[in-house]
Amino acid sequence: MSHTFALDKSCPETGARAGLITTSRGAVPTPAFLPVGSQAAVKALGPDEVRAAGASIILANTYHLHLRPGVGVIEKVGGLHRFMSWPGPILTDSGGYQVFSLARLCRTADEGVTFRSHVDGSEHFLTPEMVIQLQERLGSDIIMPLDECPPYCQEPELIREAVRRTHVWAERSRLARRRDDQALYGIVQGGAFPELRRQSAEFLASLGFDGYAIGGVSLGEPKQVMFSTIEETVGWLPEDRPRYLMGVGSPEDILEAVARGVDLFDSALPTRTARNGALFTASGRRNIQNACYRDRDEPLDRDCGCYTCRHFSAAYLHHLFRSRELLAYRLATIHNLTFVLGLMRRIREAILDGRFAALKRAFLAEYRTTDEETRLVQKQKWLSSRTEPESLAPFV
């Protein structure tokens, strides 16, 4: 097995931990954030820019690559790493969440999922075995099984059925695995129900996966519900395997999740908000399109060492966004990824030095977050926008 995980140090005041995931294509110091490149590209950036921002691993998505350009195309040119010119580790999501949130006319049974593509309306059928085979053909370093990810709700029967099916698919995925140079992570479901989370975590841990993901969060639930769900789930997972929180990427949420023992994160939030002109700073997000930046002849963040802040003024970024110049998306994305990946580096160093609790307190004391009501409204708008035709949402 070419995938290993070593725990370097834990924080005595919290559940925070620093470790090292080793793959055949390089090491991933944890805690780590995975920039999202669903369609074999981190939007607006080249691989060298993603690496310069501080990324050691990225995420791609099986659902998107299966639909376009097709796994056969990627396989023919030598695999996903060569196709997108990324030399480091790649984690591929199974696409289960996308099937349930993007696809049209989705029909689910224990055998698999039938759905119509959100791209062209063509009908497709995927089984857990097929999803594993697709990822083995892609050649990614960490792969995920097909799971059922229901929306946030308070209906225990709906969540219980999703957990049951996720477990059935997890067992079949393990049996379908043929390559020993890829790590396979299990995905814990269970909604916001502690007992279902415990049952799911214990069952998947008994199967001996190489790592464990926490799925079914950041789907519109209040933050305290999300944090308690994370804490409940982590408590039942093995300490000697990586813990991966799927779909969470705001700085404040990362800090809270690290404090609860999470090692890996992925989210399109930093890159998506960048394309909308919302840029991270130590005091919170700043909307570069606001009039106060029209003539500000200094970097947006004077303490940031990213390419954007070293070379361009806030006034220039404001001009690019107001003029809808494509360069705006690239420069803003570089900044936001550098900020988040830099925060991950600081978190890891603080854990190793025994300063994590102090870092968390200091960061959250200065960082102004979006109020809960506004955040939930924005989240629902984004979730709704994912069902729109691509022509209406080219940068989603």
Yes or no: say if 288 and 275 are a contact pair by the CB < 8 Å rule.
Answer: no
pLDDT at residue 221 is higher than 60: yes
More confident residue, 125 or 385: 125
Residues 109-124: pLDDT tens digits?
999 999 999 999 999 9
Q: Phi, psi at residue 95, to the nearest 5°?
A: 95, 5
Yes or no: say if 84 and 47 are a contact pair by the CB < 8 Å rule.
Answer: yes
At residue 105 the predicted structure's pLDDT band, cuts being 50, 70 and 90, is: confident
In the chain the domains, ranked by start, together with CATH numbers, are: 4-267 (3.20.20.105), 275-373 (no CATH)
Catalytic residue annotation? 93, 266
pLDDT at residue 321 is higher than 60: yes
* Average pLDDT in the chain: 94
- pTM summary value: 0.94
- Report the alpha-carbon distance of residue 102 to residue 159 in Å, rounded: 19
pLDDT at residue 392 is higher than 50: no
pLDDT at residue 385 is higher than 70: no
Beta partners for residue 36, in sequence order: 59
pLDDT of residue 393: 38
pLDDT of residue 381: 66
What is 148-167 written as a DSSP string?
--PPS-S-HHHHHHHHHHHH
pLDDT of residue 396: 41
pLDDT of residue 154: 80
pLDDT at residue 91 is higher than 80: yes
Yes or no: say if 183 and 142 are a contact pair by the CB < 8 Å rule.
Answer: yes
pLDDT of residue 101: 86
Percent of the chain with pLDDT over 90: 89
Q: Which residues contact 272 (CB under 8 A, 6 or more apart)?
A: 382, 395, 396
Taking residues 209-226, report their average pLDDT.
96
Residues 338-380: pLDDT tens digits?
999 999 999 999 999 999 999 999 999 999 998 766 656 666 6
At residue 1 the predicted structure's pLDDT band, cuts being 50, 70 and 90, is: low
